[in-house]
Amino acid sequence: MSSRNRYSPTQAEVNEVGRITARALQSFPRDKIRDIGGLPVAHIFVALCIKLQGWESRGAAIEQHYKQNEPIARTNIRALLNIAVAGQEYVEKESWLPQSFVDEAKRRTRAYCDKYGDITRGQW
């Protein structure tokens, strides 16, 4: 992975999911989303949860080209999860996250673990 594509231990670029990101970021306090080079940069949990949202959407898609991207989403989720675990980041430490966002993330996490839990369940 090139240094350009690496995520920092506490934040991640979330611009690649387009409109989903823009809508999701609107519900967060402005001081929790930084602008770096014109791109929104959010806490690692925000990035991880938005990646889970994208994974779920790709898996539910009818179009084959969306489903083909699911392994990429899975790789990204695993990378973000590893960063969060290595940085000892816990959602409980981030009380500023909107409860509805946390609830949806937990639901998606359960779905992800049901599908891939043999590899990642211990990290969640």
Question: For residue 87, is pLDDT > 50?
Answer: yes
Residue 99 has pLDDT above 80, yes or no: yes
Ordered by start, the domain boundaries in the chain are 3-120
SS3 (DSSP) at 96: coil
The pLDDT confidence band at residue 80, using thresholds 50, 70 and 90, is confident
Report, as an integer, the average pLDDT of 26-33: 74
The pLDDT of residue 106? 84
Give the bridge partners for 43, in sequence order.
11
Helix (H, G, I), strand (E, B) or coil at 42: strand
Contact present, 112 and 77 (Cβ < 8 Å): yes
Give the length of the chain.
124
What is the residue-averaged pLDDT of the chain?
71
Distance CA 1, CA 95 (A): 32
CB 58 within 8 Å of CB 75: no
| Tokens at 2, concatenated | 């090139």
Which carries the bigger pLDDT value, residue 115 or residue 88? 115
Q: Which pTM does this prediction carry?
A: 0.65
Mean local confidence (pLDDT), 11-35: 58
Lowest-confidence pick of 8-12, 27-31, 68-72, 89-93 = 8-12
Q: Which residue has the tokens 């611009």?
A: 15
Mean pLDDT, rounded, for 77-106: 79
Which residues contact residue 45 at a Cβ distance below 8 angstroms, ignoring those fewer than 6 apart? 84, 89, 91, 94, 97, 105
In this predicted structure, what is the pLDDT of residue 51?
85
Instruction: Give me the pLDDT at residue 9, please.
Output: 35
